[in-house]
Amino acid sequence: MLHCNEFASAADGGVKIIFETELGVADFLLPNKSSVLYVSECDIIAGSGYKRKVVRYRNAGSSFQELVLVEKTRLSEQYFPAVQKFVAFDLGLSLLPVSGQADASQLITQMVHGEARENPFRRKSSSRLLDPLVLALVQQIPGVGKVKALVLLRHFSSIQQLCNASPAELEPIVGQAGAQQIHSFFHKHTAGT
């Protein structure tokens, strides 16, 4: 369950939050034509009920770009690979792990402040990947700082290409250890099966 008061108090930077009961299955509709569904740690640990929520979200057929934020904490970490596989690979939705509501509010605040720009999750051209939000997202990969993120974004024209890159493709860019770490980050679900 999303605790709106906690989320609202975490949001800062001049973002106006309007509570609305008619959003449908989305938790947030943003001015940049993105809709956000928030899957909490409780949703994940409680069982597969989150799957119905995500499927309803995908099937709503919104004209908005769909984004699923998933709480990845110490308690939900063991379930995360299955959630990632279901949301990103099975349903084809964009998934971003967040550490909690404060992290999610910061991400949404960044997206709202970027409303004058186009949606960073829409694939247009490779130059869009140097958007500060996309850069920040790539930096969430363990072992990837700003310099490595910039280099990766120059070599791969989309986040999907980066995700699908083999260790052999990554190694000339970030070295063997970095390549393994990046590949493992995107393909954790295959290690447990």
Extents of the domains making up the chain: 1-115, 132-187
Candidates 3.40.190.80, 3.40.50.10130, 3.40.50.20, 3.40.50.300; CATH matching 1-115:
3.40.50.10130
pLDDT in tens, 147-187: 888 888 888 877 778 888 899 999 988 889 889 988 888 87
What are the tokens at 104?
């999610």
pLDDT in tens, 52-106: 989 988 887 666 778 889 999 899 889 999 999 998 888 888 888 998 888 888 8
Q: Measure the CA–CA gap between 121 and 105, rounded to whole angstroms.
A: 17
DSSP three-state, residue 12: coil
- What is the CATH superfamily name and number for domain 132-187? 5' to 3' exonuclease, C-terminal subdomain (1.10.150.20)
**Integer angstrom CA distances of residue 88 from 82, 154, 186:** 10, 23, 11
Burial of 126 (0-12, 13-18, 19+ CB in 10 A): middle
Q: Measure the CA–CA gap between 107 and 142, rounded to whole angstroms.
A: 18
What pTM was estimated for this model as a whole?
0.52
